[in-house]
């Protein structure tokens, strides 16, 4: 799956993996993590995006010869953290192949822990879930890991249902079924709209589960166009 990761060492690191889901909140949260000065992330590789909808675009803070692709990899210079920023959805008929190839790369890279970020459609929240935190987490197995230990100390709850409904983030279940035993999925209920605040909350929760502290967050340049250019104020007199 790697296209340009020669010489990059990922062994022992924790991987943060966003799912293209409701409001694109996981991808926005990864944007915040990548641009947090305390985490000191830098672009290190691109993965083969054959199984995703074709995508290419300008990068927020690129090297001179870098453009954004469907699957870009960033590594922290100050912490054992790696993120895969997925900017394009998986082709419907390629989901199993994508997951298989991704898990093969994770194994080859010898990544120690996997944190999957996903959002669920709040409109499908059950009555019982309305009485709980908007965050919940699920593990790939019953085994404990540093991620589950930290999640247990946060204001969120563990979903013990082996096959819960995941409206808006169905591929998360496939990840959990195929991922290493040290995988944790962090799920957040939200609705479509201006999801920047949801992204801040998810990024903060992800950082705490990974055992790092972020005192300042910065929005990337690409966020300036989330809703297009501002309307001409002369329209309003």
The domain locations on the chain are 14-214
Ramachandran region, residue 29 (left: φ > 0; alpha: ψ -120 to 50; beta: rest): alpha
Whole-angstrom CA distances from 167 to 39, 122, 172, 184 are 31, 9, 10, 18
Instruction: Look at residue 235 in the predicted model and tell me its pLDDT.
Output: 76
- pLDDT (tens digit, 9 = 90+) per residue, 136-158? 999 877 667 899 999 999 988 88
Measured between its terminal Cα atoms, the distance across the chain in Å is 55
- pLDDT (tens digit, 9 = 90+) per residue, 152-181? 999 888 887 767 788 888 799 999 999 999
Record the pTM. 0.91
Instruction: Look at residue 118 in the predicted model and tell me its pLDDT.
Output: 96
pLDDT below 70 — which residues of the chain? Answer: 1-6, 62-65, 142-143, 162, 228-229, 237
Instruction: Look at residue 232 in the predicted model and tell me its pLDDT.
Output: 75
State percent of the chain over pLDDT 90. Answer: 65
Instruction: Look at residue 5 in the predicted model and tell me its pLDDT.
Output: 56
The superfamily CATH assigns to domain 14-214 is PAC-like subunit (3.40.50.10900)
The phi and psi torsions of 201 (rounded to 5 degrees) equal -65, -40
Ramachandran region, residue 136 (left: φ > 0; alpha: ψ -120 to 50; beta: rest): beta
Q: Which two tokens stand for residue 164?
A: 């819960």
Instruction: Look at residue 237 in the predicted model and tell me its pLDDT.
Output: 60
CA dist., res. 92 & res. 20, Å (int): 13
State the sign of the Cα–Cα–Cα–Cα dihedral 166, 168, 171, 175.
negative
CA dist., res. 64 & res. 50, Å (int): 24
Instruction: Look at residue 236 in the predicted model and tell me its pLDDT.
Output: 78
């Amino acid at each position: 799956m790697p296209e340009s990761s020669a010489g990059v060492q990922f062994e022992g690191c924790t991987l943060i993996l966003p799912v293209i889901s409701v409001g694109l909140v996981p991808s926005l949260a990864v944007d915040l993590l990548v641009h947090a000065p305390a985490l000191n992330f830098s672009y290190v590789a691109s993965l083969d995006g054959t199984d995703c909808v074709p995508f290419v675009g300008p990068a927020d803070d690129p090297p001179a010869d870098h453009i954004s692709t469907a699957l870009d990899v960033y590594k922290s210079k100050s912490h054992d953290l790696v993120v895969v920023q997925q900017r394009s959805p998986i082709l419907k008929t390629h989901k199993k192949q994508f997951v298989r190839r991704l898990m093969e790369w994770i194994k080859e890279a010898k990544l120690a822990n996997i944190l999957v970020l996903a959002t669920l459609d709040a409109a499908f929240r059950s009555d019982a879930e309305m009485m709980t935190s908007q965050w919940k987490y699920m593990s790939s197995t019953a085994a404990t890991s540093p991620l589950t230990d930290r999640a247990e100390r946060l204001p969120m709850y563990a979903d013990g249902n082996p096959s819960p409904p995941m409206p808006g983030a169905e591929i998360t279940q496939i990840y959990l079924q195929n991922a290493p035993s040290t995988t944790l999925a962090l799920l957040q209920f939200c609705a479509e709209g201006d999801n920047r605040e949801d992204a801040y909350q998810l990024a903060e929760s992800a950082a705490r589960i990974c055992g790092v502290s972020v005192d300042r967050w910065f929005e990337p340049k690409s966020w300036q166009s989330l809703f297009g250019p501002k309307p001409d104020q002369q329209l309003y007199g």
